[in-house]
């Protein structure tokens, strides 16, 4: 193997690939990157089995080849090299010589055979709009559960319909539902897939760049996302995602409209005095007014009153302030609508005005 | 390893390579008869890209990775510091929580995912309990194989969730022919005889030391049968290295096995089938010894050695096991025992 690449170009791809590398060495080979040459590019592959990231970097290839090298070492070397051409040359055995300007490195490498085989995209792909997907994935990652034992909640459910994309994520205490009307070409029937959390994080990183559409495909075992010249492959989670339709309340008739900014700031202040484990705050709604109240057993209490647009019976309900803030801090809408029914029914939050997205957040109440 | 190279337990190999492996299985049997080897080979077979339905090719990328221990769909869990643990979280390598997580995924590049737990009896109670649910209903593309030489040390709840496949010790001829192909030293026959039906033991056995230990036991037994005096026995046991070796479980276990072998030889002499005698090199001594004992005593002696081995396996104090053995095989006690 013998090729020359530009430092900046390689570094940018390595940064993306770095996301896929295993940090804990369960399987030692996974701390490596696979470098593979094609006619005029070098393909960099990293995987931790959950997520595989494959990036392509233009290169002048003299001798074709494929080798695995330590990801950490290669990344550090490239990071600190001067802005110049980097020359990679393998000695045909276990070493790669890396030359750049006045620096010379010799890195140990492993044959390609040891590296897990990257699943091939031999399936029909469909084009999805990149920006909506970026917005939607960014707005539901926080609600994906941290509990490793609830495997089916370890990801977000993506529902593709000929006229819309929907993402749903939940951890059993709250649920985010975000949907957008988009024409998806080439999609004949509804498609539901579970995207693991890590894949969704990587996907939102990849779509942060200026791309207009991505290609999506799925097989029995894997999901594929092609973003420009980069490929993200994720393992498919097995199992049944909960029936989210049942969770979204339909009969919450008490609609309170609040200023997002004011509500967020007030919650931040009041939650200081909330119980440190439960983060519980009590919201009491009366005509055109919302009271937020917290009471930490031996710490003290806090109370704040906000103006609200509301007409109807008064109602009180307890929520986890942290869960409310997780949702509110990611919003850019000016107002927010909070739909309630009674103190035992889950609350529903929606940004106002609606905009292009149907964005809903369901939050289970707390007994106070 | 290719399945056709697998030595011994052919019936089991034929069943497993053909039929579908159950989702959770338990391979039991003495150490070194190929339980782990077969489990890994079956995993390689299921994922092999060349080869046939019943034989792996050994050369495709999948087989190469299996052989190097890099295959992303074949996981081997082994005790770390003598225990298989539950682990902090699902990312903790080589723990049962990691197994629980990994089992949930579909194969990465192969057809089936394999999770092999070697020396499963070393699982802590929490570790064992945490995989019960997984063992009960693993996803259809995952297979779990537990391997143990001591199935009774597993929780009954684990055993009842797995289909058991018992492996048997290999015959002397089988081991001998294997050794002839793989070793180039003399005394292969002796080595095969002393291997307790296990290829791993046959290969790793220190022949010289084992024969020394065997002679020590033969001496002990001879003097016991002549005088039946505890005093003389104690004197011999007080000498090094016997004194220190009899304090360890492994030491007593080894000596009990050697005594069992000698007992069997005496039995074969008594029933006049000398061709089956293992310790051919000490035939004269054995014959002399055999003349002084009765067939019934030999039978009882073998029974008591077996009992002692069972006790050792169940954590009875090793020295006590060894002493009880002689007490039980003394003619006085033995007669009384028989009357009761």
The domains of chain A, with CATH numbers, are 2-114 (3.10.150.10), 126-244 (3.10.150.10), 248-363 (3.10.150.10)
pLDDT at A324: 94
**CA pair distance B250, B201, nearest whole angstrom:** 14
pLDDT at A261: 94
pLDDT tens string B278-295 = 888 888 999 998 888 888
Contacts of B89 in chain A (CB under 8 A): 148
Task: Report the percentage of chain B scoring pLDDT > 90.
Answer: 34
Final residue belonging to a domain, choices B180, B205, B230: B205
Contacts of A27 in chain B (CB under 8 A): 70, 72
Over residues A163-187, mean pLDDT: 91
- The 8 Å CB, 24+ separation contacts for B270-273 are B270/B295, B270/B298, B271/B295
Cβ distance of B65 and A220 shorter than 8 Å: no
Residues recorded for chain A: 368
Q: Is the predicted pLDDT of residue B337 greater than 60, yes or no? A: no
Alpha helices in chain A (DSSP H): 7-18, 71-80, 130-140, 197-206, 260-270, 321-328
**CA pair distance B256, B323, nearest whole angstrom:** 11
* B135 and B41 assigned to the same domain: yes
Cβ distance of A26 and B93 shorter than 8 Å: yes
CA diameter of chain A: 80
Distance from the A68 Cα atom to the nearest Cα atom in chain B, whole angstroms: 13
pLDDT at B333: 53
pLDDT tens string B71-104 = 889 999 999 988 999 988 877 888 999 899 888 8
Domain with B231 in it: what CATH number? 1.20.272
Candidates A310, A277, A278, A307; CA nearest to A292 is A307
* B20 and B152 assigned to the same domain: yes
**Sheet with B163-166: strands ordered across:** B74-77, B113-117, B142-148, B24-28, B163-166
Q: Are B195 and B201 in contact (CB under 8 A)?
A: yes
Domain with B94 in it: what CATH number? 3.40.50.300
Contacts of B101 in chain A (CB under 8 A): 148, 151
B93 within some domain: yes
Q: Are B32 and B201 in contact (CB under 8 A)?
A: yes
Q: Are A47 and A30 in contact (CB under 8 A)?
A: yes
B184 within some domain: yes
**CA pair distance A202, A209, nearest whole angstrom:** 12
pLDDT at A316: 93
Arithmetic mean of pLDDT over chain A:
90
From the list B65, B92, B107, which residue is nearest A221 (CB)?
A: B107
Distance from the B108 Cα atom to the nearest Cα atom in chain A, whole angstroms: 7
**Which residue of A lies nearest to B63 if distances are taken between CA atoms?**
A113
pLDDT tens string B1-17 = 788 888 888 888 888 88
Task: Report the percentage of chain B scoring pLDDT > 70.
Answer: 97
State the residue range of the domain holding B19: 3-166
Strands A85-90 and A95-100: antiparallel
**CA pair distance A273, A17, nearest whole angstrom:** 43
* B211 and B199 assigned to the same domain: no
**CA pair distance A134, A126, nearest whole angstrom:** 17
Strands A32-37 and A164-170: unpaired
> Please, which pLDDT band fits residue A24 given cuts at 50, 70 and 90?
low
* B239 and B181 assigned to the same domain: no
pLDDT tens string A101-129 = 899 999 999 888 888 888 887 788 899 99
Candidates A68, A58, A64, A60; CA nearest to A33 is A68
**Upstream peptide bond of A353 is cis (omega within 30 degrees of 0):** yes
* B52 and B119 assigned to the same domain: yes
CA distances to A181, A283, A335 from A308, rounded to whole Å, are: 30, 12, 10
pLDDT tens string A262-310 = 999 999 999 999 988 889 999 999 999 999 999 988 889 999 999 999 9
Task: Report the percentage of chain A scoring pLDDT > 90.
Answer: 63
Final residue belonging to a domain, choices B117, B148, B166: B166
Structure tokens at A39: 């006619």
* B130 and B239 assigned to the same domain: no
* B321 and B221 assigned to the same domain: yes
Q: Helix, strand, or coil here: B97?
A: helix
| Residue A253 burial class via C-beta count within 10 angstroms: exposed 0-12, middle 13-18, buried 19 and up | exposed
Q: How many domains does chain B have?
A: 3
Is this complex scored with an ipTM above 0.95? no
Q: Any residues with CB less than 8 A from the CB of A223 and at least 6 apart, and which?
A: A193, A195, A199, A216, A217, A233, A234, A235, A236
Q: Does B50 touch chain A (CB under 8 A)?
A: no
Contacts of A26 in chain B (CB under 8 A): 91, 93-94, 98
* B31 and B106 assigned to the same domain: yes
B340 within some domain: no
* B226 and B183 assigned to the same domain: no
CA distances to A258, A259, A285, A333, B176 from A353, rounded to whole Å, are: 12, 11, 21, 7, 83
Cβ distance of B65 and A25 shorter than 8 Å: no
* B178 and B249 assigned to the same domain: no
Sign for the CA dihedral angle at B230, B232, B235, B237 comes to negative
- H/E element, A225: strand A222-227
**CA pair distance B194, A74, nearest whole angstrom:** 53
pLDDT at A97: 93
Q: Is the predicted pLDDT of residue B159 greater than 80, yes or no? A: yes
* B200 and B290 assigned to the same domain: no
From the list A28, A220, A239, which residue is nearest B104 (CB)?
A: A239
* A28-32, A318-322, B261-265, B336-340: range with lowest mean pLDDT: B336-340
**CA pair distance A256, B85, nearest whole angstrom:** 52
**CA pair distance B236, B223, nearest whole angstrom:** 10
**CA pair distance B294, B266, nearest whole angstrom:** 10
Q: Helix, strand, or coil here: A45?
A: strand
φ/ψ region of A127 (left if φ > 0, alpha if ψ in -120 to 50, else beta) reads: beta
Structure tokens at B148: 């143990």
Q: Is the predicted pLDDT of residue A27 greater than 80, yes or no? A: no
Q: Is the predicted pLDDT of residue B340 greater than 50, yes or no? A: no
> Please, which pLDDT band fits residue A22 given cuts at 50, 70 and 90?
low
Tokens 């034989």 correspond to: B55
pLDDT tens string B168-189 = 998 888 888 888 888 888 788 8
pLDDT at B10: 86
B27 within some domain: yes
* B257 and B222 assigned to the same domain: yes
pLDDT tens string A47-58 = 888 889 999 999
Arithmetic mean of pLDDT over chain B:
87
pLDDT at B335: 53
């Amino acid at each position: 193997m013998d090729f020359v690449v530009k430092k900046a170009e390689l570094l940018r791809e390595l940064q993306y690939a770095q996301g896929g590398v295993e940090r804990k060495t369960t399987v030692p080979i996974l701390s490596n990157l696979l470098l593979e040459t094609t006619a005029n590019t070098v393909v960099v592959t990293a995987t931790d089995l959950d997520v595989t990231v494959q990036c392509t970097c233009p290169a002048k290839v003299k001798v074709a080849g494929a080798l695995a090298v330590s990801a950490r070492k290669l990344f550090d070397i490239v990071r600190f090299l001067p802005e110049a051409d980097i020359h990679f040359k393998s000695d045909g055995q276990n070493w790669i010589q890396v030359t750049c300007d006045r620096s010379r490195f010799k890195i140990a490498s492993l044959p390609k055979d040891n590296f897990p085989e990257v699943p091939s995209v031999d399936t029909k792909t469909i084009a999805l709009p990149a920006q909506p997907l970026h917005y939607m994935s960014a707005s539901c990652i926080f609600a994906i559960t941290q509990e490793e034992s609830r495997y089916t909640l370890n990801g977000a459910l993506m529902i593709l319909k000929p006229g819309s994309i929907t993402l749903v994520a939940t951890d059993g205490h709250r649920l985010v539902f975000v949907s957008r009307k988009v024409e998806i070409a080439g999609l004949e029937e509804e498609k539901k897939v579970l995207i693991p959390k890590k894949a969704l994080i990587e996907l939102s990183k990849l779509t942060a760049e200026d791309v207009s559409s991505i290609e999506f495909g799925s097989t029995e075992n894997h999901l594929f996302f092609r973003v420009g010249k980069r490929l993200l492959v994720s393992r498919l989670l097995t199992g049944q995602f909960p029936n989210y339709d049942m969770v979204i309340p339909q009969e919450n008739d008490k609609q309170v409209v609040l200023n997002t900014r004011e509500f967020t700031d007030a919650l931040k202040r009041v939650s200081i005095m909330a119980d440190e484990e439960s983060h519980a705050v009590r919201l009491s709604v009366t005509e055109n007014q919302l009271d937020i109240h917290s009471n930490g057993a031996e710490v003290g209490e806090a109370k704040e009153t906000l103006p609200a647009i509301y007409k109807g019976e008064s109602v009180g309900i307890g929520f986890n302030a942290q869960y409310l803030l997780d949702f509110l801090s990611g919003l850019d809408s000016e107002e927010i609508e909070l739909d309630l029914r009674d103190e035992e029914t889950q609350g529903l939050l929606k940004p106002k005005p609606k905009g292009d997205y149907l964005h809903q957040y369901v939050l289970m109440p707390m007994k106070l | 390893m290719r399945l056709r190279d697998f030595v011994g337990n052919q019936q089991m190999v034929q069943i497993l390579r053909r039929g579908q492996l159950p989702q959770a299985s338990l391979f039991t049997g003495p150490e070194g008869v190929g339980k782990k080897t077969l489990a890994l080979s079956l995993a390689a077979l299921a994922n092999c890209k060349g080869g046939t339905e019943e034989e792996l090719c050994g050369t495709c990328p999948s087989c190469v990775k299996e052989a190097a221990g890099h295959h992303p769909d074949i996981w081997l869990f082994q005790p770390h510091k003598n225990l298989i643990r539950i682990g902090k979280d699902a990312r903790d390598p080589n723990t049962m929580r990691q197994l629980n997580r990994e089992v949930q995924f579909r194969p990465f590049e192969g057809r089936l995912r394999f999770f092999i737990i070697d020396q499963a009896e070393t699982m802590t109670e929490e570790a064992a309990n945490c995989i019960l649910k997984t063992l009960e209903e693993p996803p259809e593309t995952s297979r779990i194989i537990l391997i143990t030489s001591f199935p009774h040390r597993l929780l009954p709840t684990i055993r009842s969730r797995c289909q058991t496949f018992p492996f048997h010790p290999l015959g002397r001829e089988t081991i001998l022919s294997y050794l002839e192909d793989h070793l180039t030293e003399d005394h292969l026959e002796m080595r095969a005889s002393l291997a307790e039906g296990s290829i791993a033991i046959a290969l790793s056995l220190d022949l010289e030391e084992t024969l020394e230990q065997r002679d020590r036991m033969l001496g002990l037994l001879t003097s016991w049968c002549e005088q039946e005096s505890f005093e003389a026995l104690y004197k011999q046991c007080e000498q090094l290295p016997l004194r220190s070796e009899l304090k360890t479980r492994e030491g007593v276990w080894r000596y009990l096995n050697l005594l069992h072998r000698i007992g069997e030889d005496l039995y074969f002499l008594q029933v006049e089938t000398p061709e089956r005698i293992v310790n051919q090199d000490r035939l004269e001594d054995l014959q002399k010894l055999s003349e002084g004992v009765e067939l019934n005593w030999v039978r009882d002696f073998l029974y008591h050695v077996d009992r002692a081995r069972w006790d050792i396996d169940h954590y009875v104090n090793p020295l006590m096991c060894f002493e009880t053995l002689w007490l039980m095989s003394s003619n006085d006690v033995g007669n009384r025992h028989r009357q009761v």
